[in-house]
Amino acid sequence: MFHVEKRGSAVVISVAGDVDVLTSDSFRETIARAEEGAERVVISLLDCPYLDSTGLTVLVAAQRRLGARLAVVVANEGNVRKIVDIASLAQFIHIVPSLEEAFSATAS
């Protein structure tokens, strides 16, 4: 469900599957463990078909802790993009369409 990979001083968390009330605690714990000692945290939702309000809450909490150290990758189309847009999440969290852009945006 959650794959964590170190890339230099950054950590990439790739989500495969839904983030909902059943998985949000595990998502929160995965982010908390991954952010320890990481200069950057990138969360990829490219393989996440569904994100509910509990998942959104986890992302907002991570942004509060990490600030500019966090980037979230969301495809330009699909269910998760619709949810992110409806929730106006991009006002609070740095949302990018690709891993490459996440690393170039957080490199500064």
Judge whether 40 lies within some domain.
Answer: yes
Judge whether 43 lies within some domain.
Answer: yes
Query: Which CATH number does the domain housing residue 57 bear?
Result: 3.30.750.24
Judge whether 107 lies within some domain.
Answer: no
Side chain identity at residue 66, one-letter code: L
Task: Name residues whose C-beta falls within 8 Å of residue 70's C-beta, 6 or more positions apart in sequence.
Answer: 40, 41, 42, 43, 62, 63, 93, 94, 106
For the residues 47-76, what does the mean pLDDT come to?
A: 96
Evaluate if residue 106 carries a pLDDT over 80. no
Q: What is the pLDDT of residue 61?
A: 97
Judge whether 66 lies within some domain.
Answer: yes
Evaluate if residue 105 carries a pLDDT over 70. no
Q: What is the pLDDT of residue 41?
A: 97
Q: What is the pLDDT of residue 44?
A: 98
Distance CA 35, CA 50 (A): 23
Judge whether 49 lies within some domain.
Answer: yes
Residue 83 burial (CB count, 10 A): 19
Evaluate if residue 77 carries a pLDDT over 60. yes
Judge whether 108 lies within some domain.
Answer: no
Number of domain units in the chain: 1
